[in-house]
Amino acid sequence: MKLFMFFLTFITSFAVSAQSLQFKNLDAGQVLVKGSGFNKAYDVNFYKYSDYLDQIKMNSNGSFSYTTPRNTFQHGNKMVVKVLNYNGSGNHYERSWEYRKPTGGQGGEQSQEIPYEKLKNYANQQARTVANRVVNTYGEREKFKYNLVAGFWDGYELYRLYNGRGAYGYGAYHKGLANGRDIGKREGYRKGRDAASSEATLSAYSAVKAKFVAAVDTGHSPELSYSIPVVNYDGIPGDYYVPTVEEKLKELESDFRYKISVYRWAYDDYVLDTWGNDWTLRRIYTYNGTYEFVDSWFRSDYAYDEWKDNRLGGKYDYNIYKKLSSDQKYEYKKIFKSIYDDVIDSKFYRKKTERNPIAYALGQNYGYDVGREMAYQEGVRDGILDTHRASSIKGFEDNYAKFWEDSFIGYVEKFQNNPVLEVLDANVVGLFIPTGEIGVTIKKMRNIGGVDFNGTAYLSGESVDSVKKLYNLKLEALTSNLGKEINFDVMAKINNGAKPDAKNVVTLHLGDFAFNLSYEMGWENILEAFAHDNLSSSQVATVESYLLKQVSAEWSTAISTVKHNPYKSNPNETLIGRVANYVTKNSDSREKFSDFSEKAKEIPGTVYKIQFAKAAKKKAYMNLVNKIQ
């Protein structure tokens, strides 16, 4: 085989009468270089990278043979050969070679320099081989996809045109229209009836209540005659959501995946599978196929790597490539990529736009399915819009009078047989500080029911703790308190859950009735009570603890922000600033706050000077504390 290759090289070189360099890696770090076809004797220089090694003179026929000294090269080193002035004065013929240490056997790796035309023909053949393989795998797959999409839209539009909205009263649209009208009638009537029930109930309640309120404190029973009011009702328009094409395609995904799972695209023993998880009906119908071998900016690089790496099945001709010098390998790559770029677009486009009746029919069936369903849904929507409002008006008008009359009679019975309390004017009263006792003063209330009220009264809420003391309240039927205040002096105590300078909601319970009231616990009231009221020692401790808790919370908030220093920019809005202002205005209270100020000093803790922002805030904070002492 070696003899044959040598003979072939010799014959080729002789036939084209062209210069040729052959490299051969030898053991012990040596390279054998043979040159021929240079016509006359030239000087030849040898380099390791750019380092000069040696110079020889060719034979008179333009040939030479040279072996480098032992251990000149290591694996991966580059050898450079220059035939001096071959292409004119100062213009050298130059080739390079990478030394690869032989892995076994005799001889080692050998290069073969071939004529340019042969190199070009070889690169052309290999580039077209790769292009044909891409076209007959990815191109076939894209053709399937292209035809499936074309079939889908043809089926979709044809159904909607000829069968979906046809003029002869058949097709999915007209079925949907008929069903939609039925739905609109049923749903519209139901919603109109529900609206009648709601409006009639409220109207009847207001009418009954007005009659019983009119009888309060008169000594007479309510006058219970009635007339059903006339109401103008505009109806409720219909509403129906029509799914999009994409949403309908999503419903068909599992069926689509099953049907395409059988398709394969084979060429020259290589098989390309279907899209798998990446191929969905929703994505395919938008013509979005892209491939790195066709659409990428680096598509010829991909093709060249494919040729080297055999991703599409291999069977490429590497025999000549393996013998090329590194320079000719580089030239081969340039020619390969240029040819691939020239041919792939036209080849791929011709392939993907060819007719595929199987894919077209599959797409057309899906187009029919989606077109039919969309036409049906649009018919349903139009049918509902056609009948819903009128049916809702009918549902309202058919039922309003009966609902109103039934509600009126029911509420009359309820009012006649039960007490019905209303608290019209009431206030929370007491000492608005933590642990402060509070009660309720009712200025105006009435019993608009036909039965006397007799029940207990108490107060509840998150900001208060109820006391054990219970109050009893009586109020005759159809009477009011006639302006006489009703006082419940101590009903609860304010706890630490109360919010300062904010409305705190409490609930006044009168038997089974409940009424929401509120109170405010202002800072000024708290400070005034702490300084001057005769609080017990336990109350003083509780209020002081409450104040310190609020001051600590403010400090934590202040140091959590980077720039803002409330103790300097807005001291009057801080609690420690308010205490300082209060003591400054009321100097006789300074002693009462002395224990508080000592404990307030401890809140900031240790702040190192290096923490500039915190240190500045502590300084401003302490200035306010010092005003209290």
Tokens of 406: 């039934």
pLDDT at position 344: 85
Other beta carbons within 10 Å of 157: 13
What's the average model confidence in pLDDT over 587-605?
A: 86
> Would you say residue 628 has pLDDT above 70?
yes
8 Å CB contact between 569 and 624: no
Other beta carbons within 10 Å of 120: 16
> Would you say residue 16 has pLDDT above 50?
no
> Would you say residue 11 has pLDDT above 50?
no
The per-residue pLDDT for range 396-440, each reduced to its tens digit, is 999 999 999 999 999 999 999 999 999 999 999 999 988 899 999
pLDDT at position 9: 33
Which of residues 532 and 595 earns the better pLDDT score? 595
8 Å CB contact between 35 and 64: yes
**Spatial separation of the C-alpha atoms in residues 336 and 351, rounded to whole Å:** 22
Q: Is 46 helix (H, G, I), strand (E, B) or coil?
A: strand
8 Å CB contact between 328 and 119: yes
Which of residues 147 and 6 earns the better pLDDT score? 147
pLDDT at position 586: 87
The per-residue pLDDT for range 361-376, each reduced to its tens digit, is 998 998 888 888 889 9
Q: Which pLDDT band, with edges at 50, 70 and 90, does 500 fall under? A: confident
Of 110, 105, 106, the closest CA to residue 20 belongs to 110
Task: Classify 468 in phi/psi space as left (phi over 0), alpha (psi -120 to 50) or beta.
Answer: alpha
> Would you say residue 49 has pLDDT above 70?
yes
Which of residues 283 and 457 earns the better pLDDT score? 457
pLDDT at position 109: 56
Q: Which pLDDT band, with edges at 50, 70 and 90, does 353 fall under? A: confident
> Would you say residue 25 has pLDDT above 70?
yes
- Matching residue, tokens 């007959």: 136
What's the average model confidence in pLDDT over 20-27?
A: 85
pLDDT at position 206: 96
The per-residue pLDDT for range 314-328, each reduced to its tens digit, is 567 777 888 888 788
Of 436, 439, 430, the closest CA to residue 535 belongs to 436
Of 407, 397, 404, the closest CA to residue 189 belongs to 397
pLDDT at position 287: 46
What is the residue-wise DSSP string for 310-364?
TTT------HHHHHS-HHHHHHHHHHHHHHHHHHHHHHHHHHHTS--HHHHHHHH
pLDDT at position 18: 67
* 568 phi/psi in degrees, rounded to 5: -105, -45
Q: Which pLDDT band, with edges at 50, 70 and 90, does 161 fall under? A: confident
pLDDT at position 407: 96
The per-residue pLDDT for range 127-140, each reduced to its tens digit, is 888 888 888 888 88
100-109, 147-156, 262-271, 408-417: which is most confident: 408-417
> Would you say residue 563 has pLDDT above 50?
yes
Judging by beta carbons within 10 Å of its beta carbon (0-12, 13-18, 19+), is residue 258 exposed, middle or buried? Answer: exposed
Q: Which pLDDT band, with edges at 50, 70 and 90, does 12 fall under? A: very low
**Spatial separation of the C-alpha atoms in residues 547 and 625, rounded to whole Å:** 13
Output helix, strand, coil percentages for the chain, rounded to the nearest 5: 50, 20, 30
pLDDT at position 269: 66
The per-residue pLDDT for range 435-456, each reduced to its tens digit, is 899 999 999 999 999 999 999 9
8 Å CB contact between 34 and 75: no
- Residues of the chain with pLDDT > 90, as a percent, come to 39
Q: Which pLDDT band, with edges at 50, 70 and 90, does 15 fall under? A: very low
The per-residue pLDDT for range 325-352, each reduced to its tens digit, is 878 888 888 998 898 888 888 888 888 8
What's the average model confidence in pLDDT over 603-618?
A: 74
> Would you say residue 215 has pLDDT above 50?
yes
> Would you say residue 3 has pLDDT above 60?
no
pTM higher than 0.85: no
> Would you say residue 106 has pLDDT above 70?
no
Q: Which pLDDT band, with edges at 50, 70 and 90, does 535 fall under? A: confident
Tokens of 226: 């009635």
DSSP code, position 136:
I
**Spatial separation of the C-alpha atoms in residues 86 and 43, rounded to whole Å:** 9
pLDDT at position 421: 97
| Length of the chain in terms of residues written | 629
pLDDT at position 479: 96
Tokens of 250: 């999503």
> Would you say residue 218 has pLDDT above 90?
yes
pLDDT at position 208: 97
Which of residues 169 and 118 earns the better pLDDT score? 118
CA angle, 541 then 545 then 549, to 5°: 175
> Would you say residue 88 has pLDDT above 50?
yes
